[in-house]
Structure 1
Amino acid sequence: MMITSAANPRVKGWSALLTKRGRDEQGAFLLEGVHLIEEALRSQAKVRTILYNMDRELPVELDDYRSGHSRAEQGKNIEWVGVSEAVLAKCTETKTPQGVVAVCAKPEYDAAAFLEHKLALVVAVDGVQDPGNLGTIIRTADAAGATGVLLGRGTVDLYNPKTVRSTMGSLFHLPIAECDLKELLPSAGQKGIRLVGTRLDARQHCYDLDLTQAVWFLVGNEGSGLSPELAPYVNEDIIIPMPGQAESLNVAMATGILLYEAVRQRHFSKLPSV
């Protein structure tokens, strides 16, 4: 199939996915660039349609999926549409489109399932507004082998194109569920899950806390931190030591420090014998 006019009704539907309302209505989002699309295909995400610049050759990394080679079973049920430069520009936010865009169905994860992991390592995000920060948190959680990420109300949309790009494909590697944390945290506490938050006046630092058991890190808004509604559910307040003169850490950086202290304790706590 080929579409050259940016006024085509299908193009209108695809371009609507640049908005949260459009994504919510269609249950889908956009992926731009070879790397993200290839990660989606490798992870068996539900890619519906791939739009490619009809004036260029399809990138070799994706051509195997279209041609149906043995390693590319995932590509058989995908609609491949050659489009003009004008159509691609209509469906992207970047000033220089990479020549390929995919429409992908939103995955569905049950937030309550996070309660059932006995040794869970979870990041619960409360009101983080910057897409880059959220993407970095997800990417770091992926690298740390976290159980998953929970997105509370007021958090930037996971499927915002900027957020999607900043995850570098990690959104396809671990469960990410949207939820009302105020409803979920009491159940987590009742199950004995450590609900850990950071406070500048906390007496216990992150290197003192046992993170080898089930733990959820609660991370809050860049400016105001954890919301007053959720703060009472924290059962372990900690501080990240800052011997220098900085007043605070970026929320994504702080989350990375906490995740990797958990990784250290769980996997590298014993020093090799000499």
Structure 2
Amino acid sequence: MESIITSVKNTKVKNWKKLHTRKGRENTNTFLIEGFHIVEEAFLSGWTMKELIIQEGVSLPTWVNDIPVTVVKDTIFTTISQTDAPQGIAAVVSMRELFAIKQSPVLIVDAVQDPGNLGTIIRTADAAGFSEVILGEGTVDAFNHKVIRATQGSLFHIPIRIARLEEEIASLKKAGFEIWVTALEDAFHYTEVKPKLKTGLIVGNEGSGVRTQIMELADKRVTIPIYGKAESLNVSVASGILMYYLRS
């Protein structure tokens, strides 16, 4: 354990703060997580922790073995924290290089921009037993702190990767997948379509839905009926309904 860091000008503190941005995360291939539950989930799921950051006075978790630990003053931890009520524990975690799995079912996300929505979608995909989540162009960074919090640890349970959706969809279809896409028009009521042995589901942007060029690549367009006066369902809610239907 190192001596206590007391200055915001410390190089480590500056580097940790860079991880608040997507550019900083991509440049180092690492990301910052915080909170006892999230940090422990990352550890138990086998993700590589480059460093554990502990606020002075906060007890180390019992599972800490050879992970480097840095202790900081409370003012420093507040500086690097991105939560309203910091718990005094954070970690720098290495990203994983992932490859296509091609096991059914697969979730394909097109330009979902709200971190809370993406995090909830990932958490639901994990709960519904999806094999992987593929993120397309315009989708919020999966390592955004708000996304991580919304996943409640599911980020570490299910493979999540960024890819060109046109190429991924073509590859999945070649592997025998039927591709479903959410749509408001010219679509089947989702219960009218029976899932195939291999299915991929595309969900889209909160306001504009799935882009036309991506929608045209799908085999089936499905919709969820609206019985009240709401214009539409939240994308994470709609995704959850369809994901569980595909598992039925």
The two structures share one fold, judged by TM-score above 0.5: yes
Distance 2:186 2:173 in 1: 20
Q: Counterpart in 1 of 2:228?
A: 244
Q: Counterpart in 2 of 1:80?
A: 69
Q: Counterpart in 2 of 1:172?
A: 156
Map 1:88-127 to 2 at 5 A: 88-110=77-99, 113-115=100-102, 117=103, 120-127=104-111
Q: Counterpart in 1 of 2:48?
A: 46
Is the CA contact 2:183–2:210 (under 8 Å) kept in the aligned structure 1?
no
Amino acid aligned to 1:105 = S
Is the CA contact 1:122–1:148 (under 8 Å) kept in the aligned structure 2?
yes
Distance 2:245 2:38 in 1: 29
Is the CA contact 2:178–2:196 (under 8 Å) kept in the aligned structure 1?
no
**Of 121-130 and 244-253, the range deviating more from structure 2:** 244-253
- How many pairs are equivalent? 246
SS at match of 1:257: helix
Query: Are 1:130 and 2:114 an aligned pair?
Result: yes
Distance 1:109 1:34 in 2: 26
Task: Spell out, residue by residue over 1:78-106, the C-alpha distance to the aligned partner (whole angstroms, 9 max, x if none).
Answer: 11111111221221122332111111011
SS at match of 1:44: coil
Which of 205, 219, 233 aligns to 2:203? It is 219
Which of 101, 122, 130 aligns to 1:146? It is 130
Q: Counterpart in 1 of 2:63?
A: 65
SS at match of 1:114: coil
Distance 1:227 1:218 in 2: 10
Larger Rg: 1
How far residue 55 of structure 1 moved from its aligned partner, in angstroms, is 2.6
Query: Are 1:209 and 2:193 an aligned pair?
Result: yes
Q: Counterpart in 1 of 2:58?
A: 56
Q: Counterpart in 2 of 1:34?
A: 36
How far residue 10 of structure 1 moved from its aligned partner, in angstroms, is 1.1
Amino acid aligned to 1:65 = W
Distance 2:92 2:236 in 1: 28
Amino acid aligned to 1:55 = G
Is the CA contact 2:34–2:89 (under 8 Å) kept in the aligned structure 1?
yes
Q: Counterpart in 2 of 1:262?
A: 246
Q: Which runs of 5+ in 1 are unaligned?
A: 67-74, 265-274
Q: Normalization by structure 1: what TM-score?
A: 0.86
Q: 1:222 to 1:203 in 2, by over 3 A?
A: closer
Name the Cα RMSD after superposition. 1.3
Distance 1:90 1:36 in 2: 19
SS at match of 2:184: coil
Distance 1:151 1:34 in 2: 27
How far residue 126 of structure 1 moved from its aligned partner, in angstroms, is 0.4
Query: Are 1:8 and 2:6 an aligned pair?
Result: no
How far residue 245 of structure 1 moved from its aligned partner, in angstroms, is 2.5
Map 1:187-202 to 2 at 5 A: 187-202=171-186
Identity %: 40
Is the CA contact 1:149–1:175 (under 8 Å) kept in the aligned structure 2?
yes
Larger proportion of helix: 1
SS at match of 1:29: strand
* Aligned structure 1 segments of 4 or more residues deviating by more than 4 angstroms: none
